[in-house]
Every structure is written in structure tokens, then in C-alpha cells.
Chain A
Amino acid sequence: MLDRPPELPALSRTRRLNIYRVIRSGLGALLVAYVAWRLYEVLVVKAEYGPDTWLRFAISGLVLGSVYSLIAIGYTLVYGILRMINFAHGDVMMLGAFGGYFVLEALSAIPVASEVNPPLTFLNAHPILAVILAFACGMSIAALSGFFLERIVYHPLRRAPRLAPLIGAIGASVFLENAAQLLFGPQRRDYNNPFLLLRGAGWLIPVGTGVRLTYTGVLTFVLSLILMLGLYLLVYHTRLGCAMRAVAEDKQTAALMGIDVDHVISLTFVISGALAGAAGVMWGLHNGLVYYLIGFVPGLKAFTAAVLGGIGNVPGTLFGGLLLGTIESVGPAALGIDFQLKDVIAFLILILVLLFRPAGLLGEVSTEETL
């Protein structure tokens, strides 16, 4: 018979809990007071920003947030299935961005017979097809990278203690970044957008001095929503999705039920890689800049977004990504602080979420994580 552990005296247990709670609540209250004061200062006292400025902040925040959401979905899917944070996911996005870059470069070098002089390139003669090809290539390369990442790094470490695949992930991330630097060179490359989708071109919203809603921004936002909706339908309304959820809930029982666990896990990495690849191509089209390190910080921010929304929770991740993007964009202006502190705000949110609500804003506070 196991002895019951001795009961701690009720008084000291309460006292210990109280001090921890007091400190936590105190810090939280201080932070809330500071934020409220800064918001009051900027919005009421100084009121130097017009509605057009806030709208611009909001738009760039939403576009950024949708990219974060797409990458964060990858984190969520992998965490749900393997209880593991795939830190190399940001670099999978970078590889997807390069894939799209090379396709667009290749297409812009193919001249097409036309009446216009100088002759149009394939890129500008068939822009929609070119962009679709770029996405297809970017997503395929990223999906393949995800697949091989799982096969080479995570599969052998499946039975190892939790720390091993985590360190393996960080190692894979460093490897991918440096491999990209060696393969593609350290120079910054610019995306070759077709004329239809030139960066900076867009609709003019008649607010204030005119707010520009760029085509690339709208493409990013809408396409992200479509992809995430597609994923949601996949996970909740198909047999494969059912299998994924089953593996996430209990691997062994799922295997007993006849689900090929390895196959499902590989497919999860392929899907999350494809989404990250799409995010990479969108990043390239909208921001224009690709080089070997573009995946590093967005990967970390996407992880924050996933945690913020509730890791393991698909709609939560979408919400978390958009929220984080908006806070990053609007936050420094609203709080009246330096814009270089936006990363500080983003990671402070990560710490706060882990301290106060580790399950995330939309996550269920339960012991079992489900997809």
C-alpha cells in the first residue's frame, strides 16, 4: 500500500500561494496602469494622429498578421500532433519565399511575342498564371522541406526525451539558414512582381489624405483566409483530418484503430510546410525582400502568435496571428514609444500569455490539448 503523502498544514500553503499571487497581480496591475496611461496620453491628450494614420497602421498590421497566422498554423499542427515546437518552421517559410523568387525570375527572362515594344516577358503577359506558378513552386519546395525535416530530424527522435527534438529543431533551423546563405548568397534579393501586382500599387481609400490599400496586401490577407479556411475544412470535415485529430489525441490508440501514424505525421508536416511556403511567397510579393534570414524573426513571432491564440487550436491561431500583427503595428504608435520597441512588445506579450493564460486566449484550459 502506498502511504498517503503527509498533508501540508493549511495555513502555510495559503501563505505561500498568497505571496506569489500578490506579486503577479501587482505586476499585472502596474502594466495595465502604464498601458492605460500611455493610451490616454496618445489618444486623448496629444491626439496627433488622424483616422487615416490609424487606418494605415491597422492595414499593415492585418497584412503582417495574416502572414504570421499562416506560419503559426504550422506550429499549431505540429504541436498538436507531436507536442513539439518546430523551431525550423520559419526557415521553411524562407525556402518557400526563395522558391517563388526563382520562378518569378525565370519567368521574367522568357520573352513572349507581342505587339508591344519592348516585348513583354512571360511574367507580364500572363501575370496570374505566373503568380500561381510562383505559389505552386514555393509551396512545393516548402512542403518538401517540411517532409524531409520530419524524416531526418524528428522521426528518429520520436521516442527521445522532449528536449532532444527541441534542440534538433534549433539545429535544423541554423542548418537551413546557413545552407540558404551558401546556396543563394548573402545578398538581399528583390521579388520581381508582375506589373499587375506592383508593390505599392493599390486602391485609394478616401480617408484623410487618402489611404492606399495595396493589391499585394489584399492578396496576402484574402489568400491567407482562404488557405486557413481550407485547412479548417480539412481538419474538421475530412477523414484525413479526423485521422490527424485522432493521432493528436492519442497516438497509440489511433495506431490500434488502424491509422498509419507515420503517414499522418508526415502529411501534417507537408501541409504545414505548404502553408509556410505560401506565407513566404506572400511575404516576398508584399515586402519584396528575400534573403536567408527572413524566416528567423517571423518564425519567432508566429510562435508567439500561436501561443497567444492557443497552441493546438486552429481558429485561435488565426485570431492570435491577426491580433499580434495589429498590436505590433499599432502598439508603438498607440503607446507613444519608439518603433524599434515593437519586437519588445511582441515578446512581452509572449511572456505575459505564458504567465497569465498559458492555454492562450482562445484555448481551453484543460490538461488534454486537442486540435
Chain B
Amino acid sequence: MATMRFREALREAMIEEMERDERVFLMGEEVGHYQGAYKVSEGMLEKFGPKRVIDTPIAEGGFAGIGVGAAMVGLRPIVEFMTWNFSAVAFDQILNNAAKVRQMSGGQFDCPIVFRGPNASARQVGSQHSHAMEHFYATVPGLKVVAPAFPGDAKGLLKAAVRDDNPVLVMESETMYALKGEVPDGEHVVELGKAQIVRHGTDVTLAAYSRATHVALDAAAALEKEGISAEVVDLRSLRPLDENTLVASVERTHRMVVVHEGWPYGGVGAEVADRVQRLAFDALDAPILRVATLDVPMPYSSKLEQACMPQPDRVVAAVKRLLVRGRA
């Protein structure tokens, strides 16, 4: 078991998959000569050369489309967005081409492509650079979306994403790239669609993913001091979503709070709440609550930004509402 940073785990996944399969290549802005805007691809140009580590101009719609076209005829591209915010100008390629080409061709063409990059808030980067884009993409049939919270899962999920025959979107976090964690030695592939319980508890289930998993863990630690036992389910995969793990957890704890970045209107939290209340209605002792980013564009001010983002104290407050009052 090696300890490595989140960015190193992603890099190791890409290197291993590129060594394993000639059809895999990395494309994106500053991935090569610059060594990656966040140094995820550091050293990869030197290792694989410019044929397989390809610097692109600032043209997300163009190079996302190039990736989709290449995937349709048999290559397996990894397309890096410098941040998922910029995927908004490539939305048409992901929504209309990557997600739909299999169905609109009657199953003749596949699109084995990975789109990856940092997602959601960074630090004071303002309203246009702080979007949690997974909520837009996870609604689209034809796509798969994963959002790891730990280096080991980052590596394992990215490797699984590269090997998947469908478009897989990997949501990372700028604020987690330096996070250290254990990564199993040898071939480490994490199956898409499997959540994991990262802290066991009995009183409430906190469902989260990506950076919000750490917020939930902090909240669980704070709740423990007050004698409240919280279970934390790290979703890891948003589409497919692991209903079984969520339902099994709620059947033990009878309460749930979903924690994620991004706005509260619709989105992954609403989806989780809908499924759990449908599938485990009798197990619930209280409504499912969500702790999300406040329903405004992200402000620049550090204090306001922190106030908008999900924080452990808001999670704690939500749990207490459920436990103390038994209702929302």
C-alpha cells in the first residue's frame, strides 16, 4: 500500500492505462509542455511523447468533439478540462454527441471516452469558476459520472473509466489534488457504481461524494463528541448510483442527510432523496435533508464563499434537526 497524493494517483492511473493500451491518449489544455495546469499530467509528455499527450488550443468544444469522433472509430481518449466549468462550452459535444451516438446509431457506434478535470469550488475563484457541473451531467442517460474523494478511489475509478465502453466523466477537485491517501499496490480498479461506507454509525446516514465526503466526515467527528453516531456513505459514483448501499445504510440509521456542492434545486441530492424515500420509506424516521451550496452564484469574498459552501456545522445542524425534532 503506497501513500500518494490525489493528483499522483490520477497520474498513475493514466500512465498505467496508456502503457496497457496504445489506443489511450491524453488531450487537453496545458497537459503537455506546461505539465498540467494542476500538475496532474506532470512528466507524461516526456514519457509518452506528443503523439499521446496532446496540448490543445483553448477550444473545449473543438477538442471535446475531436475526442468523441476519435472514440467513435476506436480510440480511447482521456480529455482533460482545465476545469469542468469550461466544459459548458463543450456541453453540446457531451450532451448531443458523446451521450447519444450509441442510441441514435441503433447501437452501432460506441463512445469510450473519459472527460476529467477539477470540479466545483476552488478558493475564491468567483462565480464562473466554481460550478458543480456533475448535477448537469448526471441527469443525462448515456453518460456515467464518478466523483472520488480519496486518492485510492481516484486511481481505481479513473482506470475503470478508461476501460469502460461508454463516456465516463470524472469529477475531481482542485482543493483535493494535494490530499494524501493510501493506494493499493498492483492493479487497482474500482468498479463504477459502487458506494462505500467510509465511517460506520447508527443514528444518521450522511451521503456525500468528492470534497463533500470530507465535510461529512468532519461533521461526523463533531457529532460523535455530542454522542451522535453518524454513518458516512461516500457515493464515489453518481451515475450509476448505488441505491443498495444507501438503502441498507438508512435501514440501519433511519435518517439521512445528503451533502454536496452545487445548488439545491434538483441535482444529485434531490435524486438521492427521491430514491431513498421511494425505496426505504418505511425505514425513515424523518424527511431526508440536503446540505448544498446556497442558491446563489458563488461570490468572491472569502467569508461569503465559505458561507455559501456546505460546511460541517451546517451538516451538524441538519442532523440535529432530524434527531432532536424528528422532523425537518
Do they bind each other? no
Interface residues of A (CB under 8 A from B): none
Interface residues of B (CB under 8 A from A): none
